[in-house]
Homo-oligomer: A and B are copies of this chain.
Amino acid sequence: MDRISGKISKAVPTMQDVAVAAGVSVATVSAAVNGTAPVSKKLRERIEQAIQEIGYKRNAVARSLKMGTTTTVGLVVADITNPFFTDVVAVIQDVLHRAGYAVMLCCTDESASLQEEQISLLLDRMVDGLIIAAAGDDDGLRRHLRGANTPVVLIDRLCHDLDADAVVVDNEDAVKSATKYIIDLGHRNIGYISGSLSTSTGRDRLAGYLAALQEAGIDYGDEFVRLGNFRAKDAYTATMQLLTRPDRPSAIFAANNLMVIGVMKAIRDVGLDCPGDISVAGFDDFPWADVFQPNLTTIAQPVQAIGEQAAELILSRVADKKRREPRHIVLKGRLMIRESCRPRLG
């Protein structure tokens, strides 16, 4: 690159170079580029031409240092492999990009310690805001987020005692109505494969299940509840435990989409048929839920709305840093009744 020819051609041109080329000061170039101060037509044209000629691009890092703002938001999700999260991520991405923001994506694999690392990484890089689907324990999260006065929007999962904006679904209500639907089909022994109880979604969804049982006067409590920790593999073993009981459940509800896979695998592996022998429903809809067999009955989350609201929230926080009351947006899930649940025989 650098020709040895008296003057060395810089690798990447700076505002200074533009200023020299256009015969003005850097301040004027800055004003012209950003439109922050009036600059005469004549100069503006000269500057623009110089920019074209030498191929100048503004250095966002230098700008960030000076401005104290990076037009970047960090996005932390528990599992990028989960279709629910990817759908939400896609929407957030889209909205933020339109607003000129970049997105730094991090993935915590449902691990609290990894989560702290990732948040630290993002905070170091001075992201203007943070959207988090929190994994694991709340304490670490709170500790890391206090002090850093970066605006935070929680999605999907709440964090106790952290006064941040949040957009979540009414999990309890959704699972309660799904469970009620199953009960109304005549099922009494209903298995429940739960997510991690250190997340608000894990707790709230379970609460919905229990509430429906109670309301129906079924009182075995959490007898049929097993922990699946939101992963297919854990759900598989959990389901196996349920299916090998003498009084095995005639229906199973899985608290998220990944766990449904584990449930179905287990059902297949013990030689049962869904929905013939056992009914299944799960949280989170996915695109092929109604094209492969059995067509799954699910609770669809409003992913589009969740993503949009989260993005809007963080944008408004970033635009106007003054501390306001945190806002919680609660959306409703929707029960998609398909064919994986049948009335209980006999």
Residues B126 and A59 in contact, CB atoms below 8 Å apart: yes
A35 within 8 A of B: no
Tell me which residues from 38 to 92 in chain A have a Cβ below 8 Å from any Cβ of chain B.
Answer: 55, 57-62, 64-65, 70, 72, 75, 80-81, 83, 86-87, 89-90
Please, how many residues of chain A have a CB less than 8 angstroms from a CB on the other chain? Answer: 51
Residues A80 and B89 in contact, CB atoms below 8 Å apart: yes
Q: Please give me the residue from chain B that is nearest to A70 by CB atom.
A: B61
Stretch at the interface among A115-123, A183-191, A241-249: A115-123
Residues B124 and A58 in contact, CB atoms below 8 Å apart: yes
Chain B residues with CB under 8 Å of A293's CB are 292-294
Once the chains are docked, how many angstroms separate the CA of A121 from the CA of B105? Answer: 15
Q: How many copies does the complex hold?
A: 2
A149 within 8 A of B: yes
Question: Smallest CB–CB gap between A26 and chain B, Å?
Answer: 16
Known: A125-B61, A149-B11, A292-B292. A93 touches B105 (CB 8 A): yes
Q: Please give me the residue from chain B that is nearest to A75 by CB atom.
A: B105
Residues B287 and A264 in contact, CB atoms below 8 Å apart: no
A132 within 8 A of B: no
Once the chains are docked, how many angstroms separate the CA of A106 from the CA of B93? Answer: 7
Identify the 7 closest CB pairs spanning chains A and B, nearest first. Answer: A292-B292, A293-B293, A105-B105, A60-B124, A264-B291, A60-B125, A80-B90
Binding site for B on A (CB under 8 A): 1, 11, 55, 57-62, 64-65, 70, 72, 75, 80-81, 83, 86-87, 89-90, 93-94, 97, 102-107, 117-118, 121-126, 147, 149, 232, 261, 264-265, 268, 287-288, 291-294
